[in-house]
Amino acid sequence: MKTYQQHEQSRQDREEMDRKQSNRGDIKSAGPDVESTSPSAPQPEIPRLLFGDLWDYDPAPESTEPFPIEKRYEHFIGGKFVSGEDYFPSINPATEEILFEVPAAGQKVVDQAVAAARSAHQRYWKELSGAERGKYIYRIGRMIQERSRELAVLETQDNGKPIKETRDVDVPLAAAHFLYHAGWADKLDYAFPGAKVSSLGVAAQVIPWNFPLLMAAWKIAPALATGNTVVLKPAETTPLTAVMLAKIVQEADLPPGVVNIIHGAGETGSNLVQHPDVNKVAFTGSTEVGKLIQKSLAGSGKKLTLELGGKGANIVFEDAPLDQAVEGIISGIFFNQGQVCCAGSRLLVQESILEPVLSRLRNRMASLRVGDPLDKNTDVGAINSRAQLEKITSLVQAGEKEGATMVQLSCPLPEKGFFFRPTYFTDVAQSHRIAQEEIFGPVLTIQTFRTPEEAVQKANNTFYGLSAGIWSDKGSKLFKVAGALRAGVVWGNTYNKFDPGSPFGGYKESGFGREGGLHGLLSYVEVK
Amino acid sequence: MSSYTLPALSPVDEVAVVGRAQSFTKRSIKKDSKAAALRLIVSMIDLTTLEGMDTEAKVKRLCRKGVTPLLDADLPSVAAICVYPPMVRVAKETLAGSGVKVASVATAFPSGQTFLNLRVEEVRQTVEAGADEIDMVINRGAFLSGDYSRVFDEIVAVKEACKEAHLKVILETGELGTYEQVRKASFLAMDAGADFIKTSTGKLASAATLPVTLVMLEAIREYFLATGRVVGMKPAGGIKTAKQAWHYLVMVKETLGDDWLHADRFRIGASSLLNDVLMQWRRKDTGRYQSGVYFSED
Amino acid sequence: MAAKSTRSKAGSESKARATVAKTYKLYVGGAFIRSESGRVMAVKSGDTFVANCARASRKDFRDAVKVARGALSSWSGKTAFNRSQILYRAAEMLEDRRAVFVDRLQSHAGFNEAAAEREVSVSVDRLFWYAGWADKFTQVLGGVNPVAMPFFNFTLPEPTGVVAVLASSTSPLAGLISAIAPVLAGGNTCVVLTDHDAPTIPCDFGEVLATSDFPGGVVNLLTGSRSELLPHVASHMDVNAVALFGGSKEERVLLETEAAENVKRVRCFDDPPVADWASSDHQSPYWIESFVEWKTAWHPVGL
């Protein structure tokens, strides 16, 4: 009998031939709809795995029935829900149905909200002891936990991300952010040695649609802990959980005006951050808009933090735990449909292990379940909006046009809704658009490197600098490479892990300032 | 004596393996898919009694239960009855014509601590007594001291003594210390000719877990893709509930695919699991949550 | 005591001998160079001509950024202890030249003797203070984060990169050092523009740096006009951060507007009257923090 080692070389040769034959391919044994090669007529020389429906999971949709959505929601200003004008719809991206509508805040509403925040800061929040502030923040965290199922179900409908993510990631982390920061509120004197810190005043916060509730938590919790009051504007496509958070804030009986939430699109955000009575601006979103905000605040003296785009390199060395690295590749790019600023969208694989990695990746992708986000077994849900889907589609087309080789999961997609198949590209050059631009979708580019130096050079060859992953079993190598990468978050042998105590933020054009942890507090205080 | 060298293997990261294994438990198994899972689970069970107090009567009862787990239920028989060598003959007689296999733990189970010639002879006699499958233990002492050739040679010798009987090689993962050792032992056992690799004897507190089974399934996958040789997997010990068992099925489905969702390639070594599956089955048919008093304990 | 001015008039000290006049140059890449533009500014003390000082052009700035970028890896790659030692060395060198600076501050910058002495003392002490921080601020401001997963998670500062410093126009030495010491302690390299009536003082300070074991290009000193160079500082795509001392509202607007093009970190500091630089308000480990990027790394803890 041949041993594993003796087989290994001939297998690699076969796979290489196989790969060359199907230059542009689908993942064959991917879904129940795809015809697999019949067992009686296999290509005997190439063992294959069949990921079919011999035993399959029944649909397991999470019930929406206990959590009805109203037809219309309002701004939350000064502790009250106040109606507005110019109502616009928010749709469920998985069904394209209208879920509800919210008003778009014009200048008047922005003024009102900032005035409410200012007054709350002056009258209550600034005067309140840290210990008391902490208890309010704690209430919010606990109430998020209590209503976690509702928040998960609503978030999934408004955003399109799978219920398993909202249930296991977004909502618990949002609660954890409030609980973590609650404890800081009365300990700020110990946070920054030798310094006296004070609150800034009114924080204007503009957040994206990819983690609606979680981003709201990332913004509001540290702001409140440090004694600021806030006006938050959620993204126009995902205002629902922000409204729920407003209800929680109301039920938690926070002093009116400490948290204000207004709706609207870019213009509202722009009016908010430029409001003269705002002291602090925190923005998470695209680099393009981040730059506009930075420009618009020039000379204003407002403290600004920006958490912008990324093009994270996920580097797999030949001494990596390969089976686990593949999990990291998958979560790096398909978590939240790849709509993650810190996504590991550029896979850099050491040349010697490209084939073993690709083979594992194909088999792993074949078991991904794409579809109804409310189904508890869905791994990849809907893209948040038609506009985003179109952007992904056009970049993928550019990738094909520029000569990269595309491999796509050949699973069935729902007839309605904005879905995109998990995709990767090989034969990618650093100069390709898909290797440079943030796609913000389930699209991975795969490149190879020969030495650690080359890996670092490729990883750093971008104006972004948010995140990176390194896969190696060798600790000394991992720490050396981590030190050389110009990125604010470096995951060793893991990817896309978040914790309220772990500071998050970018280098270069990925922004400045940190969110989370001790260092996140710095973004919301004046240090004297 | 051979001089066996372990292949160069990629390492294993414990934290990531545990995380991935945990993800399989998040699959929601309902309705038809649950019914199918219950049937699959029953068909994959190596229904086991390995007690000092085992008697022929006990083994006979277990065999009958294995052939017909639940009266008037559309359920298959279990895959095999797993007993100590002296019980093989009676099991074989009782199971005749049922299609249920007789498996036996030979090789000085569970420690494996006796002379190789005695272990080989035990296997030879057990097969002669009618065992269809032999569950052997590896020489953990030799493995941990780095004497891989010895472990390899012993498995080869046992495999030879098995003749037509299938060989399941128990790694006793609870004694190997790390997932990397489990991965090494898996490749070693497969290289030496194992038809199945099996986690545990069931005699240790630390028996089959999802992560350790995942590491072994991934080894099987890698081995299959490289050599084309099919190796089966048997987690044993600690799998007591139907829900636990379908977590394993999910893992098999998503790691090795449809071809391994069969008793030829996947077994679960268990004793109390069967009744929990039967209770779930009744619950499915009647809509009532069940009590243990309605299910025979053989 | 050294001569009262660089170009002492014949006869003021010795009838027999004229002093050798010093040429005040830019300090770029570890070398003393003239402006590529060939321009100089006349430095006067009252009505008396003192010296010509190079007036940096936008191309000089561009060249300086290039060498600062080139020097970044060697400076940030040093151990924190080593950076600290070099900053201490600079303090030693400055102390050693105390007499020269006390003299120059009086003859070129119009300080009285007491003020000049104080300016030098503050400068030496400030360098010494930041030298000590270079290998400590990581411990004080960094940290290990107790995440709720089996990971070793820590946050460490790394230099932002190339920092452009638009230094004090009130204090030619203490203000200058207060600006660049935290930038250097953080591991950054810098291009400093001083727009001061006595630009010869920063030029002299270049000689301190040149003898302090800094790799060439870590600190680059330009003298010239802030209003002329500000737009080029603000818009340079390879400058990672800008430290602005003083400056008008218009300058801040211009700087911050252009800086957004590559998301520069812009830090604005007061430029107090010269006597106030002695205050400990103008030194802080949080000034070092202004020019670092926090990197958070995760590493699993498992078998």
Q: What is the pLDDT of residue B297?
A: 84
- State the average pLDDT for chain A: 94
Among C15, B231, B10, B73, smallest CA distance to A349 is for B10
ipTM > 0.90 (yes/no): yes
Is-contact A170 A155, C-beta < 8 A? yes
pLDDT tens, A327-359? Answer: 999 999 999 999 999 999 999 999 999 999 999
Within 8 A of A191 by CB-CB distance, chain C residues are none
Judged by CB atoms closer than 8 Å, whether chains meet at C145 and A502 is answered as yes
Q: Is the Cβ of C256 closer than 8 Å to some Cβ of chain A?
A: yes
Residue of A50, A58, A366 lying closest to B30 (CB–CB): A58
Domain membership flag for residue C6: no
Within 8 A of A492 by CB-CB distance, chain C residues are 297-300
Judged by CB atoms closer than 8 Å, whether chains meet at A503 and C262 is answered as no
CB atoms inside a 10 Å sphere around CB B211: 21
Domain membership flag for residue C154: yes
> Burial letters for A118-137: b for 16+ Cβ neighbours within 10 Å, e otherwise?
bbbbeebbeebebeebbebb
The Cβ-side half-sphere exposure at A402, using a 13 Å CA radius, reads 20
Q: Which residue of B has its CA nearest to A39?
A: B259
Q: What is the pLDDT of residue A7?
A: 66
Mean pLDDT of A47-58: 95
Q: Which residue among the candidates A74, A155, A165, A307 is catalytic per the annotation?
A: A307
Report which residue type is found at A342.
C
Judged by CB atoms closer than 8 Å, whether chains meet at C300 and B14 is answered as yes
Q: Which residue of C has its CA nearest to B180?
A: C303
Confidence label for A1 from pLDDT (cuts 50, 70 and 90): low
Separation in Å, CA of B208 to nearest CA in chain A:
20
Model confidence at C87: pLDDT above 60: yes
Confidence label for A392 from pLDDT (cuts 50, 70 and 90): very high
Within 8 A of B216 by CB-CB distance, chain A residues are none
Q: What is the pLDDT of residue A474?
A: 97
Q: How buried is residue A452: exposed, middle or buried, by Cβ count under 10 Å (0-12/13-18/19+)? A: middle
Model confidence at A283: pLDDT above 70: yes
CATH of the domain at C223: 3.40.605.10
Tokens read off for A139: 């209430």
Among A321, A325, A380, smallest CA distance to A348 is for A325
Judged by CB atoms closer than 8 Å, whether chains meet at A522 and C289 is answered as yes
Would you state the CATH architecture of domain A75-308+507-527? 3-Layer(aba) Sandwich (3.40)
Within 8 A of C151 by CB-CB distance, chain B residues are 15
Strand order in the sheet with A280-284: A80-82, A75-77, A259-261, A229-233, A202-206, A280-284, A303-307, A511-512
Residue indicated by tokens 């139907």? B242
Rounded distance between C-alpha atoms, residue A444 and residue A338, angstroms:
9
Mean pLDDT of C298-302: 97
Maximal CA-CA distance, chain B? 60
Rounded distance between C-alpha atoms, residue A15 and residue B285, angstroms:
48
Judged by CB atoms closer than 8 Å, whether chains meet at A501 and C300 is answered as no
What is the fold, at CATH topology level, of the domain defined by A24-30+47-59+310-492?
Aldehyde Dehydrogenase; Chain A, domain 2 (3.40.309)
Rounded distance between C-alpha atoms, residue B285 and residue B283, angstroms:
5
Between the CA of residue A359 and those of A49, A271, A512, B10, B269, what are the distances in Å? 11, 50, 38, 15, 31
Q: What is the pLDDT of residue C92?
A: 98
Among A262, A205, A279, smallest CA distance to A78 is for A262
Judged by CB atoms closer than 8 Å, whether chains meet at B10 and A60 is answered as no
Q: What is the pLDDT of residue A33?
A: 37
Between the CA of residue B131 and those of A123, B117, B123, what are the distances in Å? 84, 19, 9
Query: Is B30 noted as a catalytic residue in this protein?
Result: no
Three-class SS state of B173: helix
Neighbours of chain B (3+ CB pairs under 8 A): A, C
Confidence label for A518 from pLDDT (cuts 50, 70 and 90): very high
Q: What is the DSSP string of C151-179?
A: EEEEEEEEE-SEEEEE--SS-TTHHHHHH
In degrees, rounded to 5, the angle at the alpha carbon of residue A366 between the alpha carbons of residues A361 and A367 is 110
Rounded distance between C-alpha atoms, residue A131 and residue A229, angstroms:
16
Rounded distance between C-alpha atoms, residue A435 and residue A428, angstroms:
7
- ω into residue B110 within 30 of 0, thus cis? yes
Rounded distance between C-alpha atoms, residue B21 and residue B235, angstroms:
14
Report the percentage of chain C scoring pLDDT > 90. Answer: 92
Query: Is B147 noted as a catalytic residue in this protein?
Result: no
Between the CA of residue A27 and those of A362, A517, C86, what are the distances in Å? 6, 41, 58
Confidence label for C11 from pLDDT (cuts 50, 70 and 90): very low
Rounded distance between C-alpha atoms, residue A219 and residue A216, angstroms:
5
Domain B14-285 has CATH 3.20.20.70: yes
Judged by CB atoms closer than 8 Å, whether chains meet at A291 and C260 is answered as yes
Q: What is the pLDDT of residue A15?
A: 59
Three-class SS state of A259: strand
Q: Number of A:C CB contacts under 8 A?
A: 128
SS (H, E, C) B53-107: CCCHHHHHHHHHHHHCCCCCCCCCCCCEEEECHHHHHHHHHHHCCCCCEEEECCC
**For the whole model, what pTM was predicted?**
0.95
| Higher pLDDT, residue A29 or C258 | C258
Domain membership flag for residue C21: no
pLDDT tens, C230-257? Answer: 999 999 999 999 999 999 999 999 999 9
Q: Is the Cβ of B28 closer than 8 Å to some Cβ of chain A?
A: yes
Is-contact B136 B167, C-beta < 8 A? yes
Judged by CB atoms closer than 8 Å, whether chains meet at B221 and A49 is answered as yes
Confidence label for A16 from pLDDT (cuts 50, 70 and 90): low
Neighbours of chain C (3+ CB pairs under 8 A): A, B
pLDDT tens, C211-226? Answer: 999 999 999 999 999 9
Residue indicated by tokens 């218009």? C250
Phi, psi of A315 (to 5 degrees): -100, 120
Is-contact A126 A208, C-beta < 8 A? no
Within 8 A of A503 by CB-CB distance, chain C residues are 145, 155, 294, 296
Q: What is the pLDDT of residue A14?
A: 59
Q: Number of B:C CB contacts under 8 A?
A: 16
What residues have CB less than 8 Å from A327, skipping those under 6 apart?
A: A364, B16, B19, B20
Within 8 A of B259 by CB-CB distance, chain A residues are 49-50
CA-derived radius of gyration, chain C: 20
Residue of B5, B193, B218 lying closest to A1 (CB–CB): B193
Provide the number of structural domains found in chain C: 1
Judged by CB atoms closer than 8 Å, whether chains meet at A55 and B249 is answered as yes
Rounded distance between C-alpha atoms, residue B19 and residue A497, angstroms:
11
Residue of A488, A501, A507 lying closest to C145 (CB–CB): A501
| Higher pLDDT, residue B294 or A312 | A312
Residue numbers in chain B where pLDDT is lower than 70: 1
Q: What is the pLDDT of residue C12?
A: 52
Is-contact C171 C179, C-beta < 8 A? no
In degrees, rounded to 5, the angle at the alpha carbon of residue A67 between the alpha carbons of residues A61 and A68 is 110
Q: What is the DSSP string of A87-138?
A: -EEEEETTTTEEEEEEPPP-HHHHHHHHHHHHHHIIIIITTS-HHHHHHHHH
Separation in Å, CA of A61 to nearest CA in chain B:
9
Give the range of the structural domain holding residue C189, as residue numbers without chain letter.
26-300
Q: What is the pLDDT of residue B114?
A: 96
Q: What long-range pairs does A20-25 form, CB within 8 A, spacing at least 24?
A: A23/A405, A24/A405, A24/A406, A24/A407, A25/A407
Tokens read off for C268: 């604005």
Q: Is the Cβ of C300 closer than 8 Å to some Cβ of chain A?
A: yes
pLDDT tens, A161-174? Answer: 999 999 999 999 99
Q: What is the pLDDT of residue A437?
A: 97
What is the distance, to the nearest Å, from the Cα of residue B288 to the centroid of all Cα atoms in its chain?
31
CB atoms inside a 10 Å sphere around CB A247: 14
Is-contact B160 B127, C-beta < 8 A? no
Model confidence at C14: pLDDT above 70: no
- State the average pLDDT for chain C: 94
Rounded distance between C-alpha atoms, residue A69 and residue A75, angstroms:
16
CB atoms inside a 10 Å sphere around CB B38: 24
pLDDT tens, A476-495? Answer: 999 999 999 999 999 999 99
Q: Which residue among the candidates A165, A341, A342, A438 is catalytic per the annotation?
A: A341
Residue of A195, A294, A482 lying closest to C260 (CB–CB): A294
Between the two ends of chain C, the Cα-to-Cα distance in Å is: 69
Model confidence at C16: pLDDT above 90: no
Between the CA of residue A92 and those of A95, A101, A417, A442, B105, what are the distances in Å? 6, 12, 8, 19, 57
